[in-house]
Amino acid sequence: MFRRLSDPEKKVRMTFEGQDITAQEGESVAAALLAAGITHLRQTPVSGHPRAPYCMMGACFDCLVNIDGVSNLQACVTPVREGMSVHSQVAEKDLLHEDG
Amino acid sequence: MKTVDLAIVGAGPAGMVAASEARGHGLSVAVLDEQEAPGGQIYRAVEAVAAQAPERLALLGEDYAHGRRLAENFRVSGAEHIDRALVWQLEPNGLWYLRDEVCHELKANRILLASGAIERPVPIPGWTRPGVMTAGGVQILLKSSGVVPDGRVVLAGNGPLLYLLAAQLLAAGCRIGALVETVPYARYLEAVPHLPAALGSGYLSKGVRLLRHLRSSGTRIYRNARDLRVEGEQHAEALCFHAGGHEVRLDSDLIVLHEGVIPNQQLTRALGCVHRWDDGQKCFRPETDEWGNTSVEDVLTVGDGAGIGGALAAEHAGRLAALEVARSLGYLQTRERDRLSTSSRRQLNKLLQGRRFLEVLYAPPEERQSPPDETLVCRCEEVTAGQVRTAVRTGCTGPNQVKAFTRCGMGPCQGRMCGNTVSAIVAETQGITMEECGYYRIRPPIKPIPLAALAAAEVDCELDDVAQ
Amino acid sequence: MTGKPASGTTDLAVIGGGLHGCSLALQAALKGLSVVVLEKDSIARHASGVNAGGVRRLGRHPAEIPLSLASMRMWHEIEELVHDDCGFQVSGQVKVAETEGEMGNLRLRAEQLRSQGYEHEVLLDGEELYRLLPALKRGCPGGLACLDDGFAEPYRTTQAFRRRAEALGVRFLEKTRVLSLEARCSGCRLSTSSGELEAGVVANCAGAWAARICEQLGEPVPLEPIAPMMTVTQRLPFFVKPVVGTTGRLLSFKQMPNGTVLIGGGHRGRAEPQHNGTALDFRRLIRNVQIAADLFPSVRGARIIRCWAGIEARMPDDIPVISRSSTASNVLHAFGFSAHGFQLGPVVGRLMSELIVSGESSLSLKPFSITRFQRDRPAATS
C-alpha cells in the first residue's frame, strides 16, 4: 500500500508482533508500520473488525497499539525508538499490566 | 508551580508566530504541542525535511518550505517549547498536560488555543476499513517520513488539500488511478459571485495550476460523484459511486478521502467557550472578537481552530492575539497594540475574503450531512447513522442524549470523528437548525490519559478521605 | 420534545423531569390522574441521566431501608412496569473492610440490622470476599454485601419511565421553567415559561433546584447542591463483577457490561446550579483515582476516557425530603436524595402517588418530613 521514497538514513530497529522492522529516526510508529506493509493495527472492541491508521494526526484513535506492554497508545503520535516492541491491539487482550 | 504570562496550545503557524511576537514584547511564554518539533500539521517536520531531505522539501513546494522561517523565529524567540505534551485539561488560568506518561500542571495568566483544524470526517459506508485514509494523513506520511502510496490509488472528495496532495504525489513519482470529485455541478454557479475576491487572494491561480498539472499527468477525473461507498470486508477493495449517469467501481489499494477541514473544537468546547454554527464554513466555531478573545475570560483562540482561514491567515491572527495579550497584561499601550496590528489586520482580511469562493465551491455535499443508515458514524463505538436516527425518534432530543443512549461519541476519540455528523442527523431528524441542535458537551481529559499517571500526580490540598 | 404550551388544567403537575418526577408521573397516570411534567431543560438532563447507576440496598440509612427494600422488589420486575429492562443487572454490591477496625464496624452494622429484622446485608469473611473480588488488593479482612443488588443505566431508565408515562397520556413539557407557584385551597396556579397552568396538586421533584420552590411556599430548606464526580476508563477485560464500595474511604467502583470501569462515590466537584452546571476539581478527582488504584492495582494500566460531574443536592442528614408541604396541603416534595436516590426512584413515585390519591402512603414517610429542620431555624426566615 505504501513505499519509501528512499531508504532510511538514520535507522531505528523495532518489531511488530515479533517481526523485525527498520524505521527512520524521527518518524511515527504508524508511519514505520505502514511503510513496512503492515495495514491492520488493531481490532475494534465492539465488532472485532480490523482497523488501520486513518487520520495520522492524533484525532481518530484508529491506530491504537500496544508498545512495550503499554496498550492504547496512538501509533501516529508516538515516535519510533530503538528496540521498541509493538503489538496489535486485539479486542479483549490489550488490557491490564500485571502488577496486581 | 510555574506561572507564565501566556501558555499557547499548539505549535503550528498561529502558535509559533504568537509566541515569537509575545516574546518580542517581553512576555514569558510556554508553547505546548503534541509533536516533537514545531510546525503543526501544515509544516509538519519542516525543520528535519529541510536539513535532511532537500529533495523532499522541493517536491512539497514553496508554501511548505515557508514554515521553516516561522520555526526558526520561534526557536530563537526564547519561548519555552514543551514538546510531546498532551494538554488534557484546561482551566481558566491553568492547564494540565501529560508528557512521557507523567502529569504536569502549568499556570498561565492568559491561554491561547491554537490547536488548528481536523479534517472534516467523510462518513460513507465502508470508510472505517483499512485501506481508507484521509488526504491529510497521506500528506503527513509524505512530509514526515517520505512514505508514499503504492499500487492503485484513488483520491475522492474535494477541496484545495486534495488537489495539492495529488500534485505532491505526482511530483514524488506516484501514479494516481483516479480523482473522484464530489462537487455538485450547481456549486460552480453558486461560487461565481465570490470569484473576484478570490482572484485577489492568490488561492485561485494556485488552484488552476494544480488542476492543469493533474490533467496533464493523465489522471482520470470523475466529476459530480455521489453515493460514495467503499467495498471490501477486511480491507478496502474498491470505491463505488455514481457519476455521469453511471455506476462506477474503481478497484483500489488505497482510497484517500478529503472534504475540507473544520476547527478542532475539543479544547474550546471543554473550556465552555460559546460556539456558533458557521453556515458558510459548515462547521461549529468558537465565538471570538477581532483579537481572538473567546467568551471565557483570559482565554483566546486563533488560527484554523477558531474558524478556517488557512496557514497564512493563522500567522496574522496569531500576531494579533499576541499583541492583545501583551496589551491586556500591561506590556503594551492600547495605542501601541493598534499601531502594530494594522498590517496583519489588513492582510488577514484580504486572505479571509478570498476564502469565500472556496467555502461555497467546496462545501461538503449534502449526502455527507445525512449518511445512509448503514454508515458507521461513530468509528470507536461502531454506531450507525440508522441507530442515531432511531435514538432521535425514540426521544433523544439532542446530541448529548444520543450519546448517553447509544454510546456514540463515548469511545477514545471522544466524538472528534462523529460529532458533526451526529449533530447533522439530529438536526435533520428533528427539523431544527444546527445552531439549535448544538454539539456534544466535551468532557476532560481532552485525550485519554493513563490512570496511573493521574494517580501519581501530587495533590497539594488537604483532603479528608473518611466516608461522610 | 417540547409538547403543547403549558395551558389549561391538570390533576397533577410535576416539577422536574428526573427519575423521581417521571416515576411519580407514571404511577399517578396508572391511578388515572391527568399529569403534566414541567422540565426546565430536558428529561434526565442532570443527576438522573449521569449518575453512577447503582441499584443498592447496602449501607442504607436505617430510615431508608423499608423504602429501599420495596424499591428493590420493583427493580427486579422493572420490565413489567416500564416495558424496558433499563439495563438492570444483578451484580451484587460489596462494601470492603480494609482494616480489622473497619471489619469491626461492619460486624456491628450487620448485628444492628439483624436485631431490627433485616437480613439483606450479609457479612463476608476474607475468603468469601476474595472469591467475589479476586482483583482486590491483598490483606482485606472481609466485607459486607447485598448479593441481589446491582446497577442499571440511568439515562435509559429515566427515559423508559418517561416513555411509559407518555404512553399513558402524561404530557412532558421540556424547556419549560416554572416562574411562580401559587398554592390555594382549591388548587395551584403555575406560571411557566410556556404558559399558565392550573393543577389540583403540585409535586416538587426539582432536584438541586427544589429549594427555590420551597422558598416560594414559605418553607425554606437547608438543601445543598453537590456535584459528585465520575471517572470512566476505556474498556477493560472483565475483572470485577459486583459494585464495590469502601468502609473507611470514599469510593464506588464498578465495571460496566461493556468493560469500562466507573469510579465514583468520592470527593466532589463544584456545583453551579445558577449556571445549570458543575466544575470538576482535579485535585480531588486525583484523590478518588488514587483510592481506586490502591484498591484495584490492575486498573492502573487503564486509560481514563472521560470525567464528569452531575448536579445533585443533599440534606444535612443525607436523607431526602419525601413529604407533604407544611404550608400548602396540595403540594408535595421529593428531593434532596443526597447522591443515592436512583435506586429509590421506582418506590418514591409509587408512595407519592398513594399520598395524592388516598392521602396515605403504604410505607411511613415520617423520617423524611420537610419540617424536620424547621426547629433549627429561627422564625426569622423573612
Q: What is the CATH number of the domain that holds A17?
A: 3.10.20.440
Report the residue of chain C nearest B402, measured CA to CA.
C155
Is A47's CB within 8 Å of B382's CB?
Answer: yes
**And the C-alpha cell for C240?**
470485577
Which pLDDT score, from 0 to 100, does residue B336 have?
97
Residues spanned by the domain of C277? 100-149+225-314
Which pLDDT score, from 0 to 100, does residue A100 have?
29
Do C141 and C161 belong together in one domain? no
**And the C-alpha cell for B120?**
472534516
* CB < 8 Å to C297, chain A: 99-100
Residue A99 in any domain: the answer is: no
Q: Render pLDDT for C279-326 as a digit per residue (tens, 0 to 9).
A: 999 989 999 999 999 999 999 989 999 999 999 999 999 999 999 999
Do C239 and C307 belong together in one domain? yes
Residue C18 in any domain: the answer is: yes
* CB < 8 Å to C138, chain A: none
- The share of chain C scoring above pLDDT 70, in percent, equals 96
Residues spanned by the domain of A65? 11-90
Of C50, C304, C308, which is closest to B454 when you measure between CB atoms? C304
Q: In the predicted model, what is the mean pLDDT of chain C?
A: 94
pLDDT digit string (tens) for chain B, length 468 residues = 789 999 999 999 999 999 999 999 999 999 999 999 999 999 999 999 999 999 999 999 999 999 999 999 999 999 999 999 999 999 889 999 999 989 999 999 999 999 999 999 999 999 999 999 999 999 999 999 999 999 999 999 999 999 999 999 999 999 999 999 999 999 999 999 988 888 776 777 777 888 888 888 888 999 999 999 999 999 999 999 999 999 999 999 999 999 999 999 999 999 999 999 999 999 999 999 999 999 999 999 999 999 999 999 999 999 999 999 999 999 999 999 999 999 999 999 999 988 999 999 999 999 999 999 999 999 999 999 999 999 999 889 899 999 999 999 999 999 999 999 999 999 999 999 999 999 999 999 999 999 999 999 876 656 665 544
Backbone angles phi, psi at B189, to 5 degrees: -65, -45
Q: How many degrees, rounded to 5, is the angle at CA C83 between CA C78 and CA C85?
A: 50
The model's pTM is 0.92
Do C245 and C306 belong together in one domain? yes
- Number of domains chain A is built from: 1
Residue A2 in any domain: the answer is: no
Phi-psi region of B224 (alpha: psi -120 to 50; beta: other; left: phi over 0): left
Do C215 and C230 belong together in one domain? no
Which residues does C20 contact at the CB level (< 8 Å), separation at least 6?
C48, C205, C207, C334, C335, C337, C341, C344, C345, C348, C349
**In this structure, what CATH number is given to the domain that contains residue C45?**
3.50.50.60
Residue A38 in any domain: the answer is: yes
Is C291's CB within 8 Å of B449's CB?
Answer: no
Do C186 and C238 belong together in one domain? no
Residue C169 has pLDDT above 80, yes or no: yes
Residue whose entry in the numeric block shows the C-alpha cell 465552555: B272
Q: Does C299 touch chain B (CB under 8 A)?
A: yes
Which pLDDT score, from 0 to 100, does residue A95 have?
44
Which pLDDT score, from 0 to 100, does residue C5 have?
52
Q: Which of B376, B377, B392 is nearest to B428 (CA)?
A: B392
Residue A97 in any domain: the answer is: no
What does B225-263 look like in DSSP terms, one character per residue? -EEEEEE-SSS--EEEEEETTEEEEEE-SEEEEEE-EEE
What does B100-151 look like in DSSP terms, one character per residue? TTEEEEEEEEEEEE---EEEPP---TTTTSTTEEEHHHHHHHHHHH-EEE-S
Is C297's CB within 8 Å of A71's CB?
Answer: no
Of A92, A93, A95, which is closest to C301 when you measure between CB atoms? A95
| Chains in contact with A, counting 3 or more C-beta pairs less than 8 Å apart as contact | B, C
Do C347 and C288 belong together in one domain? no
Give how far the C-alpha of residue C322 lies from the chain's centroid of Cα atoms, to the nearest Å: 12
* CB < 8 Å to B450, chain C: 300-304
Residue A4 in any domain: the answer is: no
**ipTM score:** 0.93
Q: Render pLDDT for A16-39 as a digit per residue (tens, 0 to 9).
A: 999 999 999 999 999 999 999 998
Q: Render pLDDT for C8-31 as a digit per residue (tens, 0 to 9).
A: 899 999 999 999 999 999 999 999
Q: Does C110 touch chain B (CB under 8 A)?
A: no
Q: Does A60 touch chain B (CB under 8 A)?
A: yes
Residue A99 has pLDDT above 70, yes or no: no
Residues B292 and B286: their CA atoms lie apart, in Å, by: 9
* CB < 8 Å to B397, chain C: 1, 42, 174
* CB < 8 Å to A93, chain C: 237
Residue C152 has pLDDT above 70, yes or no: yes
Is C290's CB within 8 Å of B455's CB?
Answer: yes
Is A99's CB within 8 Å of C300's CB?
Answer: yes
Report the residue of chain B nearest C339, measured CA to CA.
B468
What one-letter code names the amino acid at C373?
F
Q: Does B148 touch chain A (CB under 8 A)?
A: yes
Lowest mean pLDDT: which of B189-198, B380-389, C79-88, C127-136?
A: B189-198
Provide the chain A residues 43-72 that lie in CB contact (below 8 A) with chain C.
Answer: 45, 70-72
Is A62's CB within 8 Å of B379's CB?
Answer: yes
**In this structure, what CATH number is given to the domain that contains residue C119?**
3.30.9.10
Q: Does B196 touch chain C (CB under 8 A)?
A: no
From C296, C314, C332, the end of a domain falls on: C314
Report the residue of chain B nearest A47, measured CA to CA.
B382
Residue C204 in any domain: the answer is: yes
Do C21 and C47 belong together in one domain? yes
Do C42 and C167 belong together in one domain? yes
Do C134 and C232 belong together in one domain? yes
Is C300's CB within 8 Å of A95's CB?
Answer: no
Q: Render pLDDT for C196-215 as a digit per residue (tens, 0 to 9).
A: 999 999 999 999 999 999 99
- Rounded to an integer, the average pLDDT of C135-139 is 97
- Rounded to an integer, the average pLDDT of A51-63 is 96
Which pLDDT score, from 0 to 100, does residue A93 have?
44
Report the residue of chain B nearest A54, measured CA to CA.
B133
* CB < 8 Å to B450, chain A: 70
Q: Does A93 touch chain C (CB under 8 A)?
A: yes
Report the residue of chain A nearest C237, measured CA to CA.
A92
What one-letter code names the amino acid at C176?
T
Q: Render pLDDT for C218-245 as a digit per residue (tens, 0 to 9).
A: 999 999 999 999 999 998 989 999 999 9
Q: Which of A60, A62, A97 to mutate to test the interface with B (most CBs of B within 10 A)?
A: A60
Do C214 and C262 belong together in one domain? no
Do C107 and C195 belong together in one domain? no
Residues B91 and B78: their CA atoms lie apart, in Å, by: 25
- Number of domains chain C is built from: 2
